[in-house]
Structure 1
Amino acid sequence: MTESAFPDVRWGSETSVLRRPAAAFAATRPGSWVLRNLSGLDRRVLERSRGRLTVLGPIGAPVVLLTTTGRKSGQPRISPLLYVREDDRIFVAGSNFGGERHPGWTANLRADPHATVTIGGRDLPVRATELKGEERERIYAEFMEMVRVYDVYRGRTDREIRVFALARSDPRG
């Protein structure tokens, strides 16, 4: 049996009694505000635990730390993101809580598709590919199935939410 490209490590459970009410709260504007303001704390928890623990852990949310290179600064930029897994790729969506602007990490990936994900205590080099058309819609539907708040985010903005596939790669290769 071959090893998966990405470890399937999650704290908590998708069947947690907290999952449904937490998702319902996240779909509200106050819920989005709380999540946005918790993202700094979540980033620190994820960094210290090397992707093993997250503030969203009790609800079994699959979270990854994505490190991109700032397109203007050239400095590492770390973003905690929910992800969807399919075969040997994971996917991330630039919902930005339904905000008017795309999150900075999406522009960073467009400028340089080489990045690193931290998941399950491992740093893994990845190469990002932005999805378009039917594949983007299909994967975004999986985000909405995972947590309905993604449908709410899509309804809050006129922009097309960017979705990226992340595949393991050789560093800078």
Structure 2
Amino acid sequence: MPKLPPRWFIRGAWKAHRGLIRVTGLADPKPGGKFGYLRLHTTGRRSGQPRAVILGYIEDGDALVTLAMNGWDRADPAWWLNLQADPRATVDLTGGSHPVTAHEATGPERARLWSALHDYTGYGDLDAFATQRGRETPVVVLARP
């Protein structure tokens, strides 16, 4: 089973990644290739302040799909907690900004999307890393109204 790097390394990689995206821009997913990058804008569940995060995603028809992982840590990422409190958000894509409403995929929808995520590079050994979390990784669907 692959071993996760130390938390300090993951946080440093996130900072470097955000800087790289600022320079190169967001990207569309390529089926059979790399997942895309979007910027998700949420409202802080406690502060009420606007928050933004860059996430990897794939497309499922008109919906966008991402994983609520925190560097494969057991804890949920703050953006997912924000969406659970208020599922309305906005995403920035290469083609512009769009309002979305989030929900967690469950049952057959989750199984189908989890399988679809395997068709993209960038997640590493998805199943092995998810097992190390010790609980199910939420698959988040960002549906356009």
Query: Please, what TM-score do these two structures have when normalized by structure 2?
Result: 0.79
8 A Cα contact 1:95 1:162, kept in partner: yes
- Equivalents in 1 of 2:58, 2:106: separation in Å? 16
Cα–Cα, structure 1 residues 48 and 70, in superposed 2: closer, same or farther, change >3 Å? farther
- Which residue in the other structure is 1:152 paired with? 128
- Equivalents in 2 of 1:76, 1:41: separation in Å? 22
- Which residue in the other structure is 2:5 paired with? 30
8 A Cα contact 1:50 1:121, kept in partner: no
- Which residue in the other structure is 1:62 paired with? 36
- Which residue in the other structure is 1:43 paired with? 18
Query: Please, what TM-score do these two structures have when normalized by structure 1?
Result: 0.67
- Which residue in the other structure is 1:107 paired with? 81
User: Which has more helix, going by share of residues?
Assistant: 1
Q: Over aligned residue pairs, what C-alpha RMSD do you find?
A: 2.6
- Distance apart, 1:97 and its partner CA: 2.4
- Which residue in the other structure is 1:18 paired with? none
Cα–Cα, structure 1 residues 139 and 32, in superposed 2: closer, same or farther, change >3 Å? farther
- Distance apart, 1:72 and its partner CA: 0.6
Q: Percent identity?
A: 32
- Equivalents in 1 of 2:20, 2:95: separation in Å? 12
Give the stretch that moved more between structures: 127-136 or 36-45.
36-45
User: Which has more strand, going by share of residues?
Assistant: 2
- Distance apart, 1:33 and its partner CA: 5.9
Cα displacement string for residues 91-115 of structure 1 (whole angstroms, at most 9, x for unaligned residues): 0111222211111111111111111
8 A Cα contact 1:66 1:116, kept in partner: yes
Give the stretch that moved more between structures: 107-116 or 157-166.
157-166
- Which residue in the other structure is 1:73 paired with? 47
8 A Cα contact 1:98 1:155, kept in partner: no
Gap regions ≥5 residues in structure 2: none
- Which residue in the other structure is 1:137 paired with? 111
- Distance apart, 1:61 and its partner CA: 3.6
Cα–Cα, structure 1 residues 151 and 51, in superposed 2: closer, same or farther, change >3 Å? same
Q: Secondary structure at the match of 1:83?
A: strand
Aligned length: 138
Q: One-letter code of the match for 1:140?
A: W
- Distance apart, 1:80 and its partner CA: 1.4
